[in-house]
Amino acid sequence: MDRLKEKILQEGRYLGNGILKVDSFMNHQIDPILMKEIGQEFARRFALHNIKATRILTAEASGIAPSLSLAMALQIPVVFARKNKPVTMADKSFTERAESHTQGKMVDLTVSSAYLTPQDKIIIVDDFLASARTLKALVKIVAQAQAQLVAVGAVIEKSFEGGRSALSDLNVPIESLATIASFDDDKVNFA
Amino acid sequence: MDRLKEKILQEGRYLGNGILKVDSFMNHQIDPILMKEIGQEFARRFALHNIKATRILTAEASGIAPSLSLAMALQIPVVFARKNKPVTMADKSFTERAESHTQGKMVDLTVSSAYLTPQDKIIIVDDFLASARTLKALVKIVAQAQAQLVAVGAVIEKSFEGGRSALSDLNVPIESLATIASFDDDKVNFA
């Protein structure tokens, strides 16, 4: 993912406190050419692990673009956990609470039971793998549904925040497309 | 868009009060094959109007999928207005308030000024064209940015809610891919 790393170097801005702003191509504006490549690269890597998934699970809003791109590559549905349960979601649902790093508050992630079943093999995808708080909430939702987690994908990993080891007991492949080992002032150091 | 209409007939559920639940393929789970076709069909229709856009504007979260699909077809960026301004958005920004139909509350839609400029030609896209409250807030954001609105696209139009006439003074093409004229009990009547 050279194009992704170039984008991070050219357009990413380090705001301090471990927060990298990637608003110009992923979290506010989306570069559709890069996003298509992101989905294809996830698909290529999961194929190397012989992953056969039935659904992708992510969280709104920033997880939707990379997840949809992967869903287009794999031709399987993507389900995005809602942060504000809409009135249209009247079914039985699974909810887990997570702290949002960029919004500084707790959010409830909710998924309708109609779209996560015990027969499902799930890939969880999100924009960042940092402390893995959101990802762990999604993992718990998969467990609530008695579905099988088969892989985790994150576009950008901040390896210094420990999320990967927090997820290691899941024993599934964890793929990130660009891994940041540290920040020096405003300079990004890839792993 | 026969596949879209079939999906609405097969999987849509009318909840009363003008609300159609399309959680199974658009607003909670996303069908990536249908979503790809939606983007391509928007692109085809806007090309017939000779629309040359530089950016797509939508609102999180349900607008992201159809907008990204169109962005992939047109190879132009998509910007999604944020409902909770994240800490990463420190720049000057444009904000408009809109009432969310499915969340029953007012939400502030915010777009960074970095991604909407006076040079931009904007297509606004959303999942629904109903009363057009969200779309009108996005139109005001385009006006704040002094950008040029060139077209509006909605996946599903509920023509009985009057949104199209509320937008008619914009004098831009308004394309919707499936138009619902009325509901009879739980039956959908297309226009």
Nearest to A60 among B55, B60, B79 (CB): B60
Name the band, by pLDDT with cuts 50, 70 and 90, for residue B88: confident
State whether residue A65 sits within 8 Å of chain B by CB: yes
**How many DSSP H helices and E strands does chain B contain?**
5, 11
Contact A162/A147 with Cβ under 8 angstroms? no
Q: What is the CATH number of domain B2-190?
A: 3.40.50.2020
Q: Between chains, do A68 and B35 touch, taking CB under 8 Å as contact?
A: yes
Retrieve residue B95's tokens: 């904000």
B165–chain A nearest CA distance, Å: 26
Residues in chain A within 8 Å Cβ distance of B32: 68, 71-72, 75-78
Nearest to B72 among A27, A36, A112 (CB): A36
CA dihedral (A124, A114, B14, B103) in degrees, to 10, reads -50
Reply yes or no on whether the pLDDT at B85 is more than 90: no
Contact B87/A20 with Cβ under 8 angstroms? no
Query: What ipTM does the predicted assembly reach?
Result: 0.96
Whole-angstrom distance, CA of residue B55 vs CA of residue B40: 16
The radius of gyration of chain B's CA atoms, rounded to the nearest angstrom, is 16
The CA distances from residue A82 to A55, A85, A107, A138, B71, in Å, are 16, 6, 10, 11, 23
Reply yes or no on whether the pLDDT at B91 is more than 80: no
Q: Between chains, do A35 and B79 touch, taking CB under 8 Å as contact?
A: no
State whether residue A48 sits within 8 Å of chain B by CB: no
> By three-state DSSP, how is residue A41 classified?
helix
Peptide bond into B90 cis (omega under 30): no
Nearest to B78 among A32, A69, A87 (CB): A32
Question: Which amino acid does the sequence have at A113?
Answer: S
pLDDT for position A16: 87
Contact A42/B96 with Cβ under 8 angstroms? no
Average pLDDT, chain B: 95
pLDDT for position B86: 73
Q: Which residue of A68, A70, A107 is the best one to mutate when testing the B interface, meaning the one whose CB has the most B CBs within 10 A?
A: A68
Q: Between chains, do A102 and B88 touch, taking CB under 8 Å as contact?
A: yes
Nearest to A27 among B23, B32, B88 (CB): B88
Retrieve residue A171's tokens: 């024993």
Contact A109/A95 with Cβ under 8 angstroms? yes
Residues in chain A within 8 Å Cβ distance of B145: none
Under 8 Å CB-to-CB from A72, ≥6 apart: which residues? A36, A39, B32, B33, B35, B36
Reply yes or no on whether the pLDDT at B179 is more than 90: yes
Whole-angstrom distance, CA of residue B1 vs CA of residue B18: 22
**How many beta-carbon contacts under 8 Å exist across A and B?**
135
Which of B86 and B31 is assigned the larger pLDDT? B31
**What's the number of CA atoms in the CB half-sphere (13 Å) around residue A52?**
1
State whether residue B29 sits within 8 Å of chain A by CB: yes
Q: Between chains, do A32 and B68 touch, taking CB under 8 Å as contact?
A: yes
Contact B57/B124 with Cβ under 8 angstroms? yes
State whether residue A180 sits within 8 Å of chain B by CB: no
pLDDT for position A52: 97
Contact B86/B112 with Cβ under 8 angstroms? no
State whether residue B16 sits within 8 Å of chain A by CB: no
Name the band, by pLDDT with cuts 50, 70 and 90, for residue B123: very high
**Which residues, listed in sequence order, are joined to residue A161 by a DSSP beta bridge?**
none
Residues in chain B within 8 Å Cβ distance of A113: none
State whether residue A76 sits within 8 Å of chain B by CB: yes
State whether residue A78 sits within 8 Å of chain B by CB: yes
State whether residue A16 sits within 8 Å of chain B by CB: no
Whole-angstrom distance, CA of residue B72 vs CA of residue B158: 26
Task: Report the percentage of chain B scoring pLDDT > 90.
Answer: 87
The domain segmentation of chain B, as residue ranges, is: 2-190
How many CB atoms are closer than 10 A to CB B165? 9
Per-residue pLDDT of chain A (191 residues; tens, 9 = 90+): 899 999 999 999 998 888 899 999 999 999 999 999 999 999 999 999 999 999 999 999 999 999 999 999 999 999 999 997 777 776 799 999 998 776 778 999 999 999 999 999 999 999 999 999 999 999 999 999 999 999 999 999 999 999 999 999 999 999 999 999 999 887 999 99
Contact B191/B179 with Cβ under 8 angstroms? yes
